[in-house]
Amino acid sequence: MAKNKGTRRPKAETPKGFRDYFGAEVSERKAMLDTIAGVYHRYGFDPLETSAVETLDALGKYLPDVDRPHAGVFAWAEEEAGDWLALRYDLTAPLARVAAQYRNDLPFPYRRYAMGPVWRNEKPGPGRYRQFYQCDADTVGAASVAADAEICAMLADTLEAVGIERGDYIVRVNNRKVLNGVMEVAGILDPADPTKFEAERGIVLRAIDKLDRLGEDGVRALLGKGRKDESGDFTEGAGLDAPQINAISRYLHAAQDILQKVMRATMDKSLADATEGLLLDETSRLGPSQSSFSDAQLLWNRLALSHLEFIAEGSKVGAEGVSELETIADLLAAQGYGPDRIVIDPSVVRGLGYYTGPVYEAELTFEITDEKGRPRQFGSVAGGGRYDDLVKRFTGQEVPATGVSIGVDRLLAALREKGRIGGSVEGPVVVTVMDRARMADYQAMVGELREAGIRAEVYLGNPKNFGNQLKYADRRGAPVAVIQGEDEAARGVVQIKDLVLGAKIAEGASLEEWKAQPAQTEVPRGELVAAIRRILDGG
């Protein structure tokens, strides 16, 4: 019990909600970031790297579901000046700061990409970490929704580039202005005084965002008095009256209707079927398509839009939102991005508080098996939208901006689920140590191998127990082990052991048994590199 003599030992643990990444986890993420950067680069985006630390002031408070001041971020006061510093919680807030700080030096529109970890001071949960990677692309200074359309197209290209097949993902697009239109109709947005009902609108948006999870009844409860969840926790509602709730419900119905059909269509990979009955009163306003999907498919997004026009009737901002979505759908259609990849979906909200126009998210549509063995859709891996007021916070001048953030860690998890990645790092050739005094000779061997571009290392542990050296080579995934004892050294030869061929080395086999295996050959010392090269090349 009284083991600690004097000094207390620190715990060898990551803080709660943080984790370590080893070997292939690191290299696979790096490969994905490289691929994404390649697509972003081809689209004309330039890299930007800001530091992890910003003033709390510059970051602002835009995290979803955060009511307490400073909650959600890791923050601390500077020792002397007393300023508050904080770890960035996303890559968008730092970009807004950069766009304001360098507004006279950057070429606008400024297309930039950024990748790196972000930090959220949230309650950690299974698979939910407080540090995770984001990979963002944003266009600052472009008022045209052509910029939003471009980001959506790039998002689709990016997902395919990292290995998500077409049909396994869908990019869903909506517009905050449409949502604002609905809230105007419901009487909780006054165009004359946009600061009124701000809290109510926040609750309504978060409620709509939960439609998938809570269903219509759950959302209606949140629009009204509030809702008690399964654990008994009560969430305060927006306090709307019945006609107001009905106005929003009408929107939710349309959203669900469209969503279900989109989902069905996506899964069937037969949008023509899904849209069939609905195309009767629609006429194509689009020219002849040169792409692979049919006119009927192209009309799908049109159809969603006509639904929305009907709902947002009577709201100027709502009509503007629908019109912007039309432009986006047309631009995408003209470039061949049909609703098999990008759809208009009125249920998309996005949690962050700063969006002002189009919002979009990418969802993986294939099913995975959850911890309890039940099938479920993988869900969202990327999201973004337009935030025309973020730079204005600093400068007072409106600077339009739009962009997307890819959740790289979730995307990696998805590819692992699909078995597309999940290898291990290529193991090194291990040169064993039979004679400690001849370490320089063994080092010379790995030197030659490395010179030839072959990954190689000398066993640097205690060489006494040769079995441990073999176990080590095994655990390192070594393709080849090299052995040179006194006898071999005297004769000017080395033993080369093909560990892939002779993979089933029994733990604890003696050196003699091990040497007797057919996968072992003796070659002159001078042929070491060539012989190993032959084995690695599979000949």
Q: Which is nearer to a copy of itself, 25 or 200 (CB)?
A: 25
Residue with smaller CB distance to a copy of itself, 81 or 280? 81
Q: Which CB sits closer to a copy of itself, 279 or 444?
A: 444
Which tokens is 124 given?
């950690």
> Looking at beta carbons only, is 330 or 417 nearer to a copy of itself?
330
CA atoms within 13 A on the CB side of 271: 25
Shortest reach from residue 12's CB to a copy of itself, in Å = 4
What is Dmax (Cα atoms) for the chain? 96
Structure tokens at 35: 């691929």
Smallest separation, CB 13 to a copy of itself (Å): 6
Question: Closest separation between CB of residue 26 and a copy of itself, Å?
Answer: 4
- Beta-bridge mates of residue 406: 135, 382
Distance CA 396, CA 115 (A): 28
Element (DSSP H or E) covering residue 386: strand 375-386
To a copy of itself, the closest distance from the beta carbon of 220 in angstroms equals 34
CB of 290 to a copy of itself, least distance (A): 9
CB closer to a copy of itself, 256 vs 323: 323
Q: Which residues pair with 403 in a beta bridge?
A: 138, 385
Structure tokens at 238: 């927006």
What is the length of the chain? 539
The residue among 86 and 252 lying less far from a copy of itself, judged by its C-beta, is: 86
Give least dist CB 487 to a copy of itself, A. Answer: 21
Helix or strand holding residue 408 (H, E): helix 408-417
Would you say 215 or 461 has its CB closer to a copy of itself?
Answer: 461
**Which is it for the CA torsion 52, 53, 55, 56, positive or negative?**
positive
- List the one residue out of 465, 472, 534, 524 whose CA is nearest residue 498: 534
**Dihedral over alpha carbons 137, 143, 146, 150 (to 10 degrees):** 0
Residue type, 435: D
Is the Cβ of residue 212 or residue 295 nearer to a copy of itself in the bound state? 295
| Shortest distance (Å) from residue 448 CB to a copy of itself | 10
The answer to whether residues 187 and 321 touch, using CB atoms and an 8 Å cutoff, is: no
- Give 207 or 401: the residue with its C-beta nearer to a copy of itself: 401
Q: What is the DSSP letter of 537?
A: T
Nearer of residues 454 and 509 to a copy of itself, judged by Cβ: 454
Shortest CB 380 distance to a copy of itself, Å? 23
The residue (of 58 and 322) whose beta carbon lies closer to a copy of itself is 58
Query: Residue 438 Cβ, how far from a copy of itself at the closest point, in Å?
Result: 10
In the complex, what is the shortest distance from the CB of residue 524 to a copy of itself, in angstroms, rounded to a whole number? 17
CB of 131 to a copy of itself, least distance (A): 5
CB atoms within 10 A of CB 107: 8
Beta-bridge mates of residue 116: 134
Element holding 393 (H helix, E strand): helix 392-395
Q: Residue for token digits 């400068």? A: 395
Half-sphere exposure in the Cβ direction for 90 (13 Å, CA): 27
The DSSP line for 283-347 is ---S----SSS-HHHHHHHHHHHHHHHHHTTT-HHHHHHHHHHHHHHHHHHHTT--TTTEEE-TT
> Is there a contact between 181 and 312 (Cβ–Cβ < 8 Å)?
yes
Task: Output the smallest distance, CB 99 to a copy of itself, in A.
Answer: 8
Nearer to a copy of itself, 22 or 230 (CB): 22
Listed residue (124, 213, 211, 162) closest to 407, CA to CA: 162
H or E element, residue 138:
strand 131-140
Q: Which is nearer to a copy of itself, 18 or 310 (CB)?
A: 18
Q: How far is the CB of 318 from a copy of itself (least distance, A)?
A: 24
Q: Closer to a copy of itself at the Cβ: 224 or 463?
A: 463
Give Cα 525 to chain centroid, integer Å: 49
Q: How many angstroms separate the CA atoms of 106 and 144, rounded?
A: 19
**Measuring CA to CA, how many Å separate 332 from each of 141, 298, 340?**
21, 10, 12
* Closest distance to a copy of itself from the beta carbon of 314 (Å): 28
* Cβ-contact 400, 386 below 8 angstroms: yes
